[in-house]
């Protein structure tokens, strides 16, 4: 009996081991990740077919696929009035359309990377299906690059349009003969083009119309037509079978990201300047604040305001620098306590005939005071902002005290400014006056010494606004920085005749300072904080002191710009000289290289 039990136990153990081994074999525990995109098994018709008259295309893959953002990525060239319907059935992508095809025309269906495998979402990059309704497939191509006119960065989304019609109105009223999208680096290539002379444009299409029909759409154009010939624009004919490239490895992608394809044509994208006069907005964000903004400065026609039935002493008006915005501060509580105020505004307006007239509008300005709730909500405290809280001032820096609402005259008896010497406070004389152009700003003046430490104290109610709100007490210790805590940059600008604007930018391309020049020479940027900077030159062709955008109607391209082809590193107590040849326009390519001449 014992031996029988032993034999049964051994058999049971062997069965368990066998099951465990089989289970291990049957359940995969990992392995290399699938990086292969789906492969095309067949298509009906074959890619590159000629004399095609059908209304349906079926492309079959070796695995199940998905369509990623197909409505955004799929394009037809030349465009169809109604986009084809794309669907999935089994392992096939089906394209159907009911529009009559043009005779002897090569059609290209661009999928970009929309077709992906189901499991890992591996894409087929830049997949195109091509056919011709005539005896041959057109095999020419055009390439180029699209850049933003001011930053020279590639646009996030832009179409490239190719027109057979050479009239300027074609891009406004008609669909293009060929169309494509730029890639993330601004490069484009349009394939399967017929030999001929064309107009080339780029567009950020705001309304999906495929033409330049809105005044505020970003646009780019070539001043002269381009000629596409077999001598310099040949593209091999598409074969029946499509060879799909495997996705790049991480290392290959990093290398590819640093490479920018250079096309034959360069298109500079710009946003057209506004030409129509109208009132853009009229908010009442605070009960005692009314704001009216115009699309353009009013010039000689003026920009005026009144409140019928109210005394002009019950409010005051402040104008923006360009005079395209007026800000009204209501000072009479019986007026600003009203939930709605009827106002009159006179401003320039472009009528339906294109004439600029002085228009009068009655605008109802509403402000509803929030209802009180059971829970007590503490009202927002009135605050003033000073540069002292940063802990340091730049030598010569204007000291501005600001608030969100108009400030009353400060009580200077409750404000002290001390110089701290060996823990001893020494009173420093100062004055405070109102900014004549901005009622929300005060200007503090005092003789401050570099390298010295100061203490600013304002007691409660020292500052307040004209509506009776008072600021809490505040105190800040700060130092006026020495010159040796800054860096200095000297630029030697050469190789250009004409006006130019030299801009010093942060590494994120925010403006730090700028200098206008009318000839080659030397400029100095002193008192720079430690950090990395970029430099941009604006070729100020019309000498208006600013960058000027393009204008298609007059054939004016946006004013060119260029960037110094490297970043500038500024250190404390560091002086740097840099030569800059600005002879070549619309250049932006940064390289990392050691500084040629040492700083001091």
Which of 99, 132, 165 corresponds to the end of one domain? 132
pLDDT tens across 180-234, in order? Answer: 889 889 999 998 999 999 999 999 999 888 899 998 899 999 999 999 998 777 6
CATH (domain of 400): 2.60.40.1220
pLDDT for 56 equals 95
pLDDT for 223 equals 96
Residue 103 pLDDT greater than 70, yes or no: yes
pLDDT tens across 253-271, in order? Answer: 544 444 567 889 999 999 9
Q: Are both 424 and 400 inside the same structural domain? A: yes
Residue 415, both tokens: 């404000």
Q: Are both 350 and 412 inside the same structural domain? A: no
Looking at the domain assignment, is residue 7 inside a domain?
Answer: no
Place of tokens 């560091």: 574
CATH (domain of 173): 2.60.40.1120
Count CA within 13 A, CB hemisphere, residue 456.
Answer: 23
Q: Are both 417 and 504 inside the same structural domain? A: no
Q: Are both 464 and 496 inside the same structural domain? A: no
According to DSSP, the residues that pair with 207 across neighbouring strands are none
Residue 599 pLDDT greater than 80, yes or no: no
Share of the chain above pLDDT 70, in %: 86
CATH (domain of 525): 2.60.40.10
pTM comes to 0.81
Q: Are both 120 and 152 inside the same structural domain? A: no
Looking at the domain assignment, is residue 475 inside a domain?
Answer: yes
Which of 113, 132, 151 corresponds to the end of one domain? 132
CB 458 within 8 A of CB 388: no
pLDDT for 600 equals 43
Residue 6 pLDDT greater than 80, yes or no: no
Looking at the domain assignment, is residue 180 inside a domain?
Answer: yes
CA pair distance 203, 181, nearest whole angstrom: 10
Residue 143 pLDDT greater than 50, yes or no: yes
Looking at the domain assignment, is residue 251 inside a domain?
Answer: no
**Backbone φ/ψ region at 443: left (φ over 0), alpha (ψ -120 to 50), beta:** beta
Least confident of 233-247, 287-301, 541-555: 233-247
Residue 240 pLDDT greater than 80, yes or no: no
CB 591 within 8 A of CB 565: yes
More confident of the two residues 31 and 26: 31
Looking at the domain assignment, is residue 430 inside a domain?
Answer: yes
CB 81 within 8 A of CB 175: yes
Q: Are both 128 and 175 inside the same structural domain? A: no
Looking at the domain assignment, is residue 302 inside a domain?
Answer: yes
Q: Are both 510 and 574 inside the same structural domain? A: yes
pLDDT tens across 325-346, in order? Answer: 999 999 999 999 999 999 999 9
Residue range(s) defining the domain that contains residue 391 = 387-481
Q: Are both 239 and 146 inside the same structural domain? A: yes
Which of 77, 111, 132 corresponds to the end of one domain? 132
Q: List Cα–Cα distances, 407 to 317, 438, 469, in angstroms.
A: 15, 10, 10
126-152: b or e for each residue (b if 16 or more CB lie within 10 Å)? ebbbbbbbeeebbbbbbbbbbbbbbeb
Looking at the domain assignment, is residue 31 inside a domain?
Answer: no
Count CA within 13 A, CB hemisphere, residue 5.
Answer: 2
Q: Are both 242 and 153 inside the same structural domain? A: yes
Q: List Cα–Cα distances, 360 to 225, 278, 357, 457, in angstroms.
A: 46, 11, 10, 49
Residue 239 pLDDT greater than 60, yes or no: no
More confident of the two residues 233 and 440: 440
Q: In the predicted model, what is the mean pLDDT of the chain?
A: 88
Q: Are both 465 and 497 inside the same structural domain? A: no
Q: How many domains does the chain have?
A: 5
Place of tokens 């019986």: 334
391-407: average pLDDT: 95
Count CA within 13 A, CB hemisphere, residue 533.
Answer: 24
Local structure of 132: helix, strand or coil: strand
Share of the chain above pLDDT 90, in %: 76
Looking at the domain assignment, is residue 588 inside a domain?
Answer: no
């Amino acid at each position: 009996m014992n031996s029988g039990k032993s034999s049964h136990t051994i058999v049971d153990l062997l069965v368990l081991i066998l099951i465990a081994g089989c289970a291990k074999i049957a359940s995969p525990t990992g392995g290399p990740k699938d990086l292969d995109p789906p492969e095309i098994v067949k298509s009906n018709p074959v890619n590159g077919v000629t004399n095609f008259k059908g209304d349906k295309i079926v492309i079959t893959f070796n695995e199940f696929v998905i369509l990623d953002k197909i409505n955004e990525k799929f394009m037809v060239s030349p465009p169809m009035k109604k986009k084809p319907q794309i669907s999935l059935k089994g392992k096939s992508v089906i394209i159907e359309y009911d529009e009559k095809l043009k005779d002897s025309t090569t059609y290209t269906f661009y999928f970009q990377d929309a077709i992906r495998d189901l499991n890992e979402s591996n894409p087929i990059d830049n997949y195109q299906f091509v056919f011709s309704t005539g005896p041959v497939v057109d095999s020419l191509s055009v390439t180029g690059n699209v850049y933003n006119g001011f930053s020279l960065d590639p646009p996030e989304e832009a179409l490239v349009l190719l027109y057979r019609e050479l009239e300027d109105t074609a891009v406004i009223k008609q669909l293009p003969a060929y169309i494509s999208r730029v890639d993330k680096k601004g490069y484009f290539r349009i394939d399967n083009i017929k030999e001929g002379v064309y107009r080339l444009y780029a567009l950020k299409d705001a309304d999906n119309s495929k033409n330049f029909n809105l005044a505020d759409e970003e646009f780019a154009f070539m001043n002269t037509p381009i000629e596409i010939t077999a001598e310099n624009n040949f593209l091999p004919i598409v074969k029946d079978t499509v060879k799909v490239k495997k996705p790049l490895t991480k290392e290959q992608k990093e290398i590819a990201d640093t490479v920018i394809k250079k096309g034959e044509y360069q298109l500079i994208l710009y946003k057209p300047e506004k030409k129509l006069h109208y009132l853009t907005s009229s908010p009442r964000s605070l009960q005692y604040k009314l704001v009216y903004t115009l699309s353009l400065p009013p010039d000689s026609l003026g920009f005026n305001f009144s409140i019928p039935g109210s005394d002009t002493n019950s409010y005051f008006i402040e104008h923006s620098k360009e005079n395209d915005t007026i800000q009204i501060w209501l000072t009479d509580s019986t007026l600003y306590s009203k939930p709605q105020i009827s106002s009159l505004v006179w401003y320039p307006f472009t009528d339906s005939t294109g004439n600029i007239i002085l228009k009068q509008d009655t605008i109802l300005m509403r402000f509803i005071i929030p209802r009180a709730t059971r829970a007590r909500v503490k009202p927002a405290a009135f605050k003033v902002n000073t540069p002292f809280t940063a802990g340091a001032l730049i030598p010569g820096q204007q000291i501005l005290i600001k608030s969100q609402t108009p400030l009353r005259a400060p009580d200077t008896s409750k404000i002290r400014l001390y110089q701290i010497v060996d823990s001893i406070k020494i009173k420093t004389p100062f004055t405070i006056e109102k900014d004549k152009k901005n009622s929300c700003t005060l200007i503090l003046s005092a003789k401050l010494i570099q390298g010295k430490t100061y203490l600013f104290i304002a007691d409660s109610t020292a500052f307040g606004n004209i509506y009776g709100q008072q600021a809490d007490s505040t105190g800040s210790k700060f130092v006026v920085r020495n010159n040796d805590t800054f860096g200095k940059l000297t630029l030697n600008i050469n190789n250009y005749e004409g006006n130019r604007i030299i801009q010093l930018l942060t590494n994120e391309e925010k403006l730090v300072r700028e200098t206008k020049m009318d000839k080659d020479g030397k400029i100095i940027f002193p008192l720079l904080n430690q950090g990395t900077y970029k430099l941009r030159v604006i070729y100020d062709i019309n000498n208006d002191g600013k960058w000027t955008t393009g204008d298609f109607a007059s054939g004016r391209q946006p004013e060119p710009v260029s960037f110094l082809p490297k970043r500038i590193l500024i250190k404390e107590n560091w002086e740097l000289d840099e030569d800059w040849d600005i002879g070549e326009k619309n250049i932006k390519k940064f390289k990392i290289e050691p500084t040629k001449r040492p700083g001091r």
